[in-house]
Structure 1
Amino acid sequence: MNFLKISFSLAVFFILMTGCTKEEKKNIVNDIKLETNAHQSVYFKALEKYFYSNQPDTTLTEYDVWIKRDPSDSLRKGFVWVDNHYRPYNMVYEKGTFYLTIPPKKTTVPYPNNKEDFISSIDWIDTFLKPEGFTELVSKNNAVIKNIEFKGEPCAGIEIKLPKGKDGRETTQTFIINKKNLFPVYAKLVVKDKGITYTNELDFYDVIFDDVNLDGLKERQKRIIASNPLDPEGGESDVAYEERMLHPGVSAPFFEGKYYGTDKTFKLEDHIGKGVILVDFWYTHCPPCVRAMPALSELYTKYKDKGLKIYGLNSVDNQPRSMDNLNKFLKKRKLSYEVILTQPEVDQAYKIKAYPSMYIIDKKGKVSFVEVGYDKEKFKKVIEHIEKLINE
């Protein structure tokens, strides 16, 4: 079966059957907790799909997941191994530390006391280790639970609407639970924020309980770390920051902003397909951002006639109290490329964790290269990648 061709459309795969009584809802959630706690380990495959409402493309990623309970672990209550087949890299959690191994970069980044999701908030990993948390989530948010049929199997559909955030963000989680093994076959996360909807879907398959070889996984981890040594800077290294960002091959999220100085509207989608694009996330009080500007100006001047576009994206200074400083700052510098004033949600969509951060977007609208920080050696890589794309 080619899982990359699986459709995630709920309309195709399940039919709402009957609503559940209050007692039935309680029983279903309690049964999930009891059945989950009855197993010491689980292995499953997952196929992830995510996209934005203003984006025509989607990204698919396959995962292998191994989970083994460990009551002595105070943070997550277990050992977790996740293989990501898109990058490729593997993620291991053991005794409070999350290890991200990136074979193409020959490095492993350790993150102490890491509580972040492995795949997404609907990946069921922490739910398997601590099912009481899922029970509480369902109870606190008055989840809608219905008996449904999904791919010909009797299932329970659980929809959880989380409280609206202070910024107006709306989040809904949906789980389709197979009634035979009380494990999800499908999950969906929908986040609505400032007019843009982010959707994340997971298909679960090949589920096997109580057959995880923990010793074998730990031996494999030793071999992998021997070939991909630990980064001494850990989660603060440039490699770590880059791995938290959008990865090459995904579609660059569309966004809007205002051209500095003219207040005209800028739309990224208007420029896709017309040349190679470099977007630089920066702000005025960032020394490496400032040091990068002459190099960016020189690069744009050299290759603008070959279709290169460079846009300096600034959301940090795009507020009334900072505009006077921004005006004085830019007046002192003669940039050859455009500055675009954006909103913080653009930085969020591009997963910006440090400044400057640069993305190179190819003519198909895909992220092609990512760089965090600035120095001459790093910028040489940026130039080399742009020259390669321009000459293709």
Structure 2
Amino acid sequence: MMKHTTAVIIVFIIALGLGACGSFEEQQPSAAGEGMLAPDFTLKSLEGQEFNLAEFRGKNPVYLVFWATWCPYCIQEVPLLKELHAKLSPKGLKILAVNIGFNDPLLRVQAFQKKYELPYPILYDNNTIVARQFGVIGVPFNVLVDRNGRIVYRSNRTPENLEAFLQQEKPA
């Protein structure tokens, strides 16, 4: 009798888990890919300023960097991002670093910003909603959005040709 009860419980748990997986997938927004219009979002910076991606359309290309304080590759990327910011922000590129919030309390993110003296806005995606919209599956994850709001690059690596991209983006 004990074996039968255990088997019924296991089958019930598996069925419940499979049902939950299906409903989770239905609730997930489809991730935006290259060539698609970037999903709009509004997030606050650590200083409390709201950033809305749509506000950059028609004005500036945006480089979104999804990251976390506990990610060693994200830490290694900091000097390169600071260099890109210094070199390319005067040419119109907006860098927005989106902390995914997963296992990353706000106080730790603020301490990270202070320690590394990050010159670009740090946005806090506490519930990873924006990260999921962009299909982020790990960090660091980088998304380049052109001035028309279309995604032109998605990868866990920083593109080597950002400056060449900006040359193409200059208004005629």
Q: Is this a same-fold pair by TM over 0.5?
A: yes
The correspondence for 1:274, drawn from 32, 55, 59, is 59
> In 2, Cα distance between the equivalents of 1:259 and 1:276?
19
Q: SS of the counterpart of 1:347? A: helix
* Counterpart contact for 2:33–2:134, Cα < 8 Å: no
Structure 2 partner of 1:344: 128
Unaligned runs of 5+ in 1: 1-161, 172-190, 201-244
Contact 1:281 1:313 in 2 (8 A): yes
Task: Give the TM-score normalised by structure 2.
Answer: 0.75
Shift of 1:272: 1.7
Distance 1:363 1:379, change over 3 A: closer
Q: TM-score, normalised by structure 1?
A: 0.35
Q: 1:381 to 1:307 in 2, by over 3 A?
A: closer
CA distance in 2, matches of 1:307, 1:357: 21
Percent pairwise identity? 24
Aligned to 1:114: none
- Listed as ranges, the matches of 1:259-338 within 5 Å are 259-260=45-46, 262-316=47-101, 322-338=105-121
Indicate the structure with greater helix content: 2
1:254 maps onto 2:40 in alignment: yes
Q: Answer whether contact 1:276 1:390 (CA < 8 A) is retained.
A: no
Question: Any gaps of 5 or more consecutive residues in structure 2?
Answer: 1-19
Shift of 1:383: 4.1
- In structure 2, the residue matched to 1:388 is 168
Q: For the residues of structure 1 that align with 2:115 and 2:21, how far apart are their CA atoms?
A: 46
Query: Residue 17 of structure 2 corresponds to which residue in structure 1?
Result: none
Equivalent position of 1:364 in the other structure: 148
Greater share of strand: 1
Question: How far did residue 313 of structure 1 move?
Answer: 0.4
Conserved in 2, the CA contact under 8 Å of 1:284 and 1:317?
no
Residue number in structure 2 paired with 1:57: none
RMSD: 2.9
Computing the radius of gyration from Cα coordinates, the structure with the larger value is 1
8 Å CA contact 1:318, 1:341 repeated in 2: no
Partners in 1 of 2:91 and 2:163 — Cα distance?
Answer: 14
1:57-89 deviation line (CA, Å, top 9, x unaligned): xxxxxxxxxxxxxxxxxxxxxxxxxxxxxxxxx
Local SS of the residue matching 1:257: strand
Distance in 1 (CA, whole Å) between partners of 2:49 and 2:103 is 15
Match of 2:13 in 1: none
